[in-house]
Structure 1
Amino acid sequence: MEKLPTIKEIARRLNVSVSTVSRALSDHPRIGLGTKLKIKQLAEELGYEPNAQAIFFKQKKTFVIGVVIPFIREEFFSQAISGIESAAMEHQYTILFGQSYDDPEREKQVVEAMKKQRVDGLIISLSKGTNRYDHLEALRKYDIPVVYFDRIPNMADAHKVYCNLYKGTMEMIGWLFHKGYRRIAFINGPDKLQASKERMNGYMDGIAKQKLKVDMQLVEKTDLSKESTQAAMKKLLSLKNKPHAVISFNDYVHMDAVQYAQHHNIAVNKSMMFVSYANLPITSYTAFPPLASIEQYPYGQGEKAMELMMKILAEKQTEKKGEEEFYTEELSPTLVVYQQAIS
Structure 2
Amino acid sequence: MERKITTIKEIAKILNVSTSTVSRALKGHPGISPVTTDRVRKVAGEQDYIPNQSAISFNKKRSYTLGLIVPEFSEPFFCSAFNAIENIATAHDYNIIIGQSYDDMETEAKLVKKFMNHRVDGLIISIAKKGSDYQQLSILEKLNIPVVFFDCVPDRKDIHFVASDFQTSLLKGMQELITAGHRKIALINGPTILSATRQRLVAYIKGLRDHNIEINSSLIVTTDLSREGNLSALNKLIHLSNPPTAVIVFNDYVFLDCLDLLNSKGLEDLFKFISFGNMPGWVLYHHKPFGSIEQFPAEQGKIAANMLMQLMIGKEAEDEPPAKNFQKYIDSDIVFFRDSIKADQAIV
For residues 105 and 285 of structure 2, the distance between their equivalents in structure 1, rounded to whole angstroms, comes to 31
| Number of the residue aligned with 1:48 | 49
CA deviation map 1:101-122 (0-9, x unaligned): 2121221111011111011100
- Partner AA of 1:108 in structure 2: A
Residues 128, 193 of structure 1: 8 Å contact kept = yes
Gaps of 5+ in 2: 343-348
Q: Deviations 1:279-317 (Å, cap 9, x if unpaired)? A: 011333223121201101112111111111112222223
Match of residue 206 from structure 2: 205
Match of 2:229 in 1: 228
2:58 maps to which residue?
A: 57
How big is the shift at 1:38? 0.8
- Taking the aligned partners of 1:118 and 1:25, their CA distance within structure 2 comes to 26
Cα deviation, 1:313-339, whole Å, max 9, x if unaligned, reads: 222232245454111121101011124
How far, CA to CA, are the matches of 1:209 and 1:37 in structure 2?
70
Instruction: Tell me the distance in 2 between the aligned counterparts of 1:35 and 1:323.
Output: 40
| Distance in 2 between residues matched to 1:90 and 1:17, nearest whole Å | 31
Output aligned runs, 1:180-199, within 5 Å: 180-199=181-200
The CA deviation at 1:83 is 2.0
User: 1:132, CA displacement in angstroms?
Assistant: 5.1
**Partner of 1:166 in structure 2?**
167
2:148 maps to 1:144: no
SS of the residue aligned with 2:241? coil
1:199 partner letter: R
Equivalent pair of 1:233/1:261 in contact (CA under 8 Å): no
Preserved CA contact (<8 Å) 1:251 1:283: no
Give yes or no for contact 1:129–1:193 (8 Å, CA) kept in 2: no
Query: Does 1:293 pair with 2:301?
Result: no
Change in 2 beyond 3 A, CA 1:320/1:329: farther
The one-letter code of the counterpart of 1:247 is I
2:24 is aligned with 1:20: no
Q: Separation in 2 of the partners of 1:159 and 1:61?
A: 21
Q: Per the alignment, do residues 12 and 323 of structure 1 end up closer, same or farther by CA in structure 2, a change over 3 Å counting?
A: closer
Distance 1:283 1:94 in 2: 33
The corresponding residue for 2:261 is: 260
Q: CA deviation at 1:157?
A: 2.1
The reply on whether 1:307 has 2:306 as its aligned counterpart is: yes
Identical-residue share of aligned pairs (%): 38
2:156 partner letter: M
Superposed displacement of residue 341, structure 1? 4.5
Instruction: Please give the TM-score of this superposition, normalised by the length of structure 1.
Output: 0.94
2:329 aligned counterpart, secondary structure = strand
Give the equivalent residue in structure 2 for 1:275: 274
* Count of residues paired in the alignment: 341
Q: Deviations over 1:255-285 (max 9, x none)?
A: 11011112222242xx421221110113332
- Deviation (angstroms), 1:199: 0.6
Q: How does 1:85-124 map to 2 (within 5 A)?
A: 85-124=86-125
Amino acid at match of 2:139: A
For residue 169 of structure 1, report the CA deviation from its aligned partner. 2.5
Which residue in 2 is equivalent to 1:84? 85
Residues 1:5 and 2:35 are matched in the alignment: no
Q: Residues of 2 paired with 1:267 and 1:110: CA distance? A: 40
- C-alpha distance in 2, partners of 1:334/1:139? 34
C-alpha deviation, 1:253, in angstroms = 0.4
- Give the CA deviation at 1:131: 5.5
What is the alpha-carbon distance in structure 2 between the residues aligned to residue 281 and residue 39 of structure 1? 50
User: Following the alignment from structure 1 to structure 2, what is the Cα–Cα distance between the partners of residues 148 and 66?
Assistant: 12
Stretch of structure 1 that moved more, 222-231 or 123-132: 123-132
Tell me how far apart the structure 2 counterparts of residues 295 and 188 of structure 1 sit (CA, whole Å): 17
Matched letter for residue 153 of structure 1: P
Distance of aligned partners of 1:113 and 1:320 in 2 relative to their CA distance in 1, 3 Å threshold: farther
Q: Distance in 1 between matches of 2:310 and 2:321?
A: 17
| 2:345 aligned partner | none
For 1:130, the equivalent position in structure 2 comes to 131
Residue 31 of structure 1, CA deviation: 1.6
TM-score norm. by structure 2 comes to 0.93
Measure the CA separation in 2 of the matches of 1:339 and 1:237.
24
Match of 1:181, SS?
A: coil
RMSD: 1.7
Q: Report the Cα distance in structure 1 between the residues aligned to 2:327 and 2:92, rounded to whole angstroms.
A: 21
Look up the match of 2:215: 214
Whether 2:344 is the aligned partner of 1:318: answer no
AA paired with 1:288? H
Runs of 5+ consecutive residues of structure 1 not aligned to the other structure: none
